[in-house]
Amino acid sequence: MENNSRKLLTYFYKGCFLFHFLIPFSLFSESQFTFRSIDLSSYPEVKLRLHANGELMPSGSGYSLSEQLGTITRFTEDIRLTRSEKRNRIFLNISIPSYTNSKDRRWLLSLVNHLVKISEQSGGHSKLHVQSDTNFHVFERVKSQVLDVSFPFPKESITQFPIRGWEQFLDSLQTNETNEDHFLLLVSFSKEWPDRFEIPEFAKRLREKRLKLIVVSPNSLEAEKLVSYANGDLYPISKPESFEVLFSNLKQNTDPDWEMVYTSPWNLSIWKENEVYGNLTSVITGTSFEFQYQISPIQTLYLKFSDPFVFFPVTLFLILLCFASLYYLRGFENPNGNKKISELAPSVLLSESENSERKEELAVYDRMYGETLEKAAKDREVALATKEKEILPGISYTYAVVQVREGSQMYEPIPLQWEVMTIGNFESNHIVLHDPTVSGLHAKIKNRKGKYILFDCVSEVGVYLNGKKLLRPKVLHNLDEIQLGKTILTFRGRY
């Protein structure tokens, strides 16, 4: 193990040394395109956003672009290439094994330090996982400056089931919903993985997360099978040039993207269903890049409404239409406020003869039963005034406070100085309780001529007075205990 560590350390530093003297190679020299996005909002003008390893010629000369619809292919010569000014961010999720000696530890920390630096320079961040069969060690947003001899690198026994640990690490990662590069970089010293039968399922979940796979391990059948299933890249740990290529490829992913704009030779209708296959080919080397896009009425509607100049006016029109509908659906207002509603409604719905008969019936009904709306309203006012004059049982206090106790913490007494004091979790209450089991507006205490009445404001868990659930408003007495959720309030009154 010590000899292997010495060799790995030597290869790694050679790779780091060569990495600083790399010269960018030209287009299509082992070129690889990464498709980012496509914009069809100005169709037949098509805008492709892609990432290319190397430099492209902005004039578009030297490339041939064709579109295939069915079995017929057409070419276009109007190709414009522009490069974005903003560099791409890359996000690294790195899983490394634990160490058995100081040389392994130094080599692993040095490797992770160089990887994290590349991510930091691009504006991204990194997540570090230390493999273990029993524990789960993860360092969020790890920084390169902390990856030195003082880094709290946990020492674990050699993992027997690496894929299971990687699956647990994968579960902690979110699905990549952006066009940015999110990598899962796995480092392993083992040639054989006893849980290799889980490779297909692990690769499937990796593709669903939309993460790019990088494996740094000995060249083995298991590693080749994993990168094949997940469309990843394998960097044999025993080859010194592997680290050179790894750092170079990661660095190239941070280069700005290219935008290719061209006019479609088909000029199809945006309201019909069509699927088009495109091909960009280098006239010099013959290397090609394939892509496809689809035109459909649903997609066209989405693109039209996503345009701010269409979305905001249409939204404003729909809002005004809703308000107008609500205004007319609510019915017409009574233009004569002094007339009874019962007298006004028949004049709208009935003819003149029927209206006069209906008025006579309503007059007789009013004399016999006295149930018109105006009389009913007056009766309610009289009932409320009578209720206010009733003498409530209990003692009148000249001054009262409540003592709030949350668990073992006791707060200062709160004077009940207003006619109505609301209690709850909302900040708008007079007495605010920071208790998650308390409702926003849980209860209230009303002062009526020195008698303090407790009300339950239809709370979820209810209000308890002296251990009994409050079913109707009750007058409070000195030293009564009020329970709201997990909070206790003690009422204290002074004559």
- Are the C-beta atoms of residues 65 and 287 closer than 8 Å to each other? no
pLDDT at 116 over 50: yes
pLDDT digits (tens, 9 = 90+) for 409-431: 888 899 998 899 999 999 889 99
Percent of the chain at pLDDT > 90 equals 35
Give the contacts of 378 (CB within 8 A, at least 6 positions apart). none
The two structure tokens encoding residue 443 = 């209860």
Give the contacts of 352 (CB within 8 A, at least 6 positions apart). none
Banded model confidence at residue 337, pLDDT cuts 50, 70, 90: very low
> What pLDDT, on a 0 to 100 scale, did the predictor assign at position 350?
45
Banded model confidence at residue 353, pLDDT cuts 50, 70, 90: low
Give the separation between CA 350 and CA 361, rounded to whole angstroms: 14
pLDDT at 62 over 70: yes
pLDDT digits (tens, 9 = 90+) for 467-479: 999 888 889 999 9
The number of residues in the chain equals 495
Q: Which of 90, 92, 101 is nearest to 34 (CA)?
A: 90
pLDDT at 203 over 90: yes
> Between the ranges 5-9, 72-76, 455-459, where is the mean pLDDT highest?
72-76
Determine the number of helices (DSSP H) and then strands (DSSP E) in the chain: 11, 26
Q: Which of 287, 259, 274 is nearest to 67 (CA)?
A: 274
Give the separation between CA 455 and CA 422, rounded to whole angstroms: 9
> What pLDDT, on a 0 to 100 scale, did the predictor assign at position 200?
92
Mean pLDDT (whole number) for 211-230? 92
Q: Which residue type sits at 338?
A: N
Give the separation between CA 226 and CA 214, rounded to whole angstroms: 10
Output the pTM of the full model: 0.53
- Are the C-beta atoms of residues 431 and 403 closer than 8 Å to each other? no
- Are the C-beta atoms of residues 33 and 289 closer than 8 Å to each other? yes
- Are the C-beta atoms of residues 396 and 451 closer than 8 Å to each other? yes
> What pLDDT, on a 0 to 100 scale, did the predictor assign at position 13?
44
Cis peptide before 473 (omega within 30 of 0): no
- Are the C-beta atoms of residues 145 and 112 closer than 8 Å to each other? no
Q: Which of 396, 393, 400 is nearest to 493 (CA)?
A: 400
pLDDT at 12 over 90: no
> What pLDDT, on a 0 to 100 scale, did the predictor assign at position 345?
42
Give the separation between CA 289 and CA 297, rounded to whole angstroms: 27
> What pLDDT, on a 0 to 100 scale, did the predictor assign at position 331?
54
Residue 262: which H helix or E strand, with range? strand 258-263
Mean pLDDT (whole number) for 272-279? 90
Banded model confidence at residue 225, pLDDT cuts 50, 70, 90: very high
Banded model confidence at residue 51, pLDDT cuts 50, 70, 90: confident
pLDDT at 273 over 60: yes
> What pLDDT, on a 0 to 100 scale, did the predictor assign at position 364?
58
The two structure tokens encoding residue 110 = 């040095």
> What pLDDT, on a 0 to 100 scale, did the predictor assign at position 379?
56
pLDDT at 216 over 80: yes
Mean pLDDT (whole number) for 384-393? 58
- Are the C-beta atoms of residues 137 and 130 closer than 8 Å to each other? yes
- The four Cα atoms 244, 250, 252, 258 give a dihedral, to 10 degrees, of 160
The two structure tokens encoding residue 198 = 């889980």
> What pLDDT, on a 0 to 100 scale, did the predictor assign at position 28?
32
Q: What is the mean pLDDT of the chain?
A: 80
Banded model confidence at residue 257, pLDDT cuts 50, 70, 90: confident
Maximum CA pair distance of the chain?
Answer: 113
> What pLDDT, on a 0 to 100 scale, did the predictor assign at position 50?
83
Mean pLDDT (whole number) for 349-373? 56
> What pLDDT, on a 0 to 100 scale, did the predictor assign at position 338?
46
